[in-house]
Amino acid sequence: MYKQKKKNERKSNGRRKLESTTNETCVQIVDKCPECAPSHLDLFQNAWSALEPDTSKGIIDTTYEFVSCPHITGPLTIHLKSGVSQYWFSAQVVNANRRTSKLEVSVDGGKTWQAGKRTDYNFFEIPSGVGAEKAWVRVTSGDGKRVVVRDVKMGSDLSVEGPSNYQ
């Protein structure tokens, strides 16, 4: 866990450039840390090690800012949560080079779209499902860039690679 110096809002999605007194790294924020104080974020071990080799410290001072990550060159992926079917939908955007602000689903080839609601654990959910075995998934970045992933099969714990990343 690290303590941030800035009073920035903790968001559960996007990339942040973190800086400690000696190092910096770019990390993807994947979910909220409900047990963390508002000014703290929980880090995976590899992110912590990039900022502070001494893992016994427990809390380090850092600053952060939201950034796009140009080192991500591959397409984004739509990951469907375990239990997804045409009757319940929950998906997370993985490997995005920008913060995802919206995920929508279409079962009529993009004529109409139904928005998923973001959860604290960073999945977008439609509790009643999409009502079809396949759908298009449209994701929108915080700066308005869009990617449409066509013919996503509604199934448990599936990952579907998109045609690109946010451009």
What residue ranges do the domains of the chain occupy?
2-66, 77-161
Which candidate, 165, 14, 30, 16, places its Cα nearest to that of 101? Answer: 14
Q: What's the topology of domain 77-161?
A: Immunoglobulin-like (2.60.40)
- 158 close to 146: Cβ distance less than 8 angstroms: no
Write out the two tokens for 141.
Answer: 């970045």
Q: What is the pLDDT of residue 35?
A: 78
Other CB atoms within a 10 A radius of the CB of residue 73 amount to 9
pTM of the model: 0.73
Distance between the two ends of the chain, CA-based, in angstroms? 32
Q: Which residue has the higher pLDDT, 56 or 157?
A: 157
Confidence of residue 56 (pLDDT cuts 50, 70, 90): confident
How far out from the chain centre does Cα 135 lie?
20
31: pLDDT strictly greater than 70: no
46: pLDDT strictly greater than 50: yes
How far out from the chain centre does Cα 12 lie?
7
Q: What is the pLDDT of residue 14?
A: 55
- Please state the rounded mean pLDDT for residues 143-157: 97
Note the pLDDT tens digit of each residue in 75-131: 999 999 999 999 999 999 998 888 899 999 999 999 999 999 999 888 999 999 999
44: pLDDT strictly greater than 80: no
Q: What is the pLDDT of residue 3?
A: 38
41: pLDDT strictly greater than 80: no
Q: What is the 3-state secondary structure (H, E, C) of the chain?
A: CEEECCCCCCCCCEEEEEECCCCEEEEEECCCCCCCCCCEECCCHHHHHHHCCCCCCCCCEEEEEECCCCCCCCCCEEEECCCCECCEEEEEEECCCCCEEEEEEECCCCCCCEECEECCCCCEEECCCCCCCEEEEEEEECCCCEEEEEEEECCCCCEEECCCCCC
Average pLDDT of the chain to the nearest whole number:
84
